[in-house]
Amino acid sequence: MVHPSQEPAACPLGALSLYMGVCRTLDMPVRCYVFRPFTRVGRSYREAPLSTEALEHRLDMPLKAAGLYGGETVHSFRRGSLQRALRTGVSEADLMRLSHIRSIATLRRYVDPTRHQASGE
């Protein structure tokens, strides 16, 4: 299992969290997409959201290169971040609001550590 780093520069989710916190502190709305696709020539970014498929590809490549890939998906990171946030004291109400989950039953399925485990673990 890969654990988040306490150093934002070494952890993409930590860096994103730091960025969002600075924006809130400075009362600056975030108006652009954080994850954006490249233009056709690949020299800049388009002002559009990154597709799930493209984000999966960007996730797979470094994990495979580091020998850490174990079938993770973008959805795996969503579940993991919700589980970690709950363990560190974020309330269920805040998790539902932040993750756009409308049902407490759905949230509890996401944060249940026994769901989606590989056999033998």
pLDDT tens-digit profile of 13-64?
Answer: 676 777 777 777 877 777 666 677 778 887 777 878 888 888 888 788 888 8
What is the domain partition of the chain in residue ranges? 7-50, 51-113
Is 96 in a helix, a strand, or coil? helix
For residue range 56-94, list pLDDT tens digits in order.
Answer: 887 888 888 888 888 888 888 888 889 988 988 999 999
Least confident range from 42-51, 91-100, 111-120: namely 111-120
Residue 76's alpha-carbon distances to 30, 41, 56, 59, 93, in angstroms, are 25, 31, 11, 11, 21
- Of 58, 59, 36, residue with least CA distance to 49: 36
Asked if the model's pLDDT at residue 121 lies above 70, the reply is no
Distance between CA atoms of 14 and 18, rounded to whole angstroms? 6
